[in-house]
Amino acid sequence: MWREEDNKLKARFIFKDFISAFSFMASVALAAEKMDHHPNWFNSWNIVEIELCTHSAGNTITDKDKNLAEKISAIYLTYHRE
């Protein structure tokens, strides 16, 4: 799901509709705020693209990014349990 590219962790998440994508983003926002680490992201209808890097560490990937990526992946799985 996650790939390293341009000193960032990147992932693309696809949902059944806009409401699911937006709900996922709201859940991620709450988790990110709690971790005090915030993603760069883009949303277009049912697609959410996320990039993670630590600006204070020279825009590189750190444990903060890896931990948030794990949390985001866990949140995503809650939207795809059928």
Three-state DSSP at 26 gives helix
Q: Is the pLDDT of residue 65 over 50?
A: yes
In the predicted structure, residue 49 carries a pLDDT above the cut 90: yes
What is the residue range of 61's domain? 3-78
DSSP β-bridge partners for residue 75:
none
Write the CATH number for 62.
3.30.1360.20
Our count of domains for the chain comes to: 1
Nearest to 69 by CA among 12, 9, 23, 15: 9
Q: Is the pLDDT of residue 38 over 90?
A: yes
